Amino acid sequence: MKKIIFVFSLFLIGFSTQSQEVKKNKNARVSFEVDGICGMCKKRIETAALKTKGVKFAIWSVETHQLSVIMDERKTDVSKIQKKILEVGHDVVLEKDKKLIATTEAYNSVHPCCKYRDEEIILDHQGELKKVKKN
């Protein structure tokens, strides 16, 4: 009788532990803002995201600067995707006044027309779909 109660207790403990696990979504949808200015930036940002293991889909909007991603949470997380984007020279906006800034070396590696931190370059993209920095 003691063995039956013991086995039953282990069975219940196993069930309660398993039910507390957070299920990771294999098709999680996330989006966040990434600085950029043109079609070349779009290609670079999307390629960096897609090269992250576990990312199934990535599209960046030139108008809104939002990167929308479908990823497998069992294989990756948002911080890994953001790190890949930083490595190719694009800043990631976390909140209104908080950013993850790409290194100077990474930023300098982008094409001269993609220097989104330079006001003159932003003005050169006048007429194209872009995000103008507000003072």
Total-model pTM: 0.75
Percent of residues, the chain, with pLDDT higher than 90: 59
Q: Report the alpha-carbon distance of residue 70 to residue 27 in Å, rounded.
A: 6
Q: 70-95: per-residue pLDDT in tens?
A: 999 999 999 999 999 999 999 999 98
pLDDT greater than 50 at residue 106? yes
pLDDT greater than 90 at residue 65? yes
pLDDT of residue 47: 96
Instruction: Tell me whether residue 70 is in a domain.
Output: yes
Helix (H, G, I), strand (E, B) or coil at 33: strand
Q: Report the alpha-carbon distance of residue 135 to residue 132 in Å, rounded.
A: 10
Report the pLDDT averaged over residues 93-100. Answer: 87
| CB neighbours of residue 81 within 10 Å | 25
Residues 97-135 as b/e (b if ≥16 CB within 10 A, e otherwise) read eeebebeeebbeebeeebbbeeeebbeebeeeebbeeee
Q: In CATH, what number is assigned to the domain containing residue 47?
A: 3.30.70.100
Task: Judge whether 26 and 74 are in contact, CB under 8 Å.
Answer: yes
Higher pLDDT, 123 or 4: 123
Instruction: Tell me whether residue 34 is in a domain.
Output: yes
Instruction: Tell me whether residue 92 is in a domain.
Output: yes
Instruction: Tell me whether residue 63 is in a domain.
Output: yes
Instruction: Give 93's strand partners.
Output: 33, 99
Instruction: Tell me whether residue 129 is in a domain.
Output: no
Which tokens in the block code for residue 45? 């940002």
pLDDT of residue 127: 52
Q: Report the alpha-carbon distance of residue 120 to residue 52 in Å, rounded.
A: 32
Instruction: Tell me whether residue 39 is in a domain.
Output: yes
Instruction: Tell me whether residue 114 is in a domain.
Output: yes
**Which range marks the domain in which residue 50 is found?**
28-124
Q: Report the alpha-carbon distance of residue 120 to residue 135 in Å, rounded.
A: 14
Which tokens in the block code for residue 63? 């108008």
Task: Judge whether 36 and 116 are in contact, CB under 8 Å.
Answer: yes
Please tell me the total count of domains within the chain.
1
Instruction: Tell me whether residue 50 is in a domain.
Output: yes
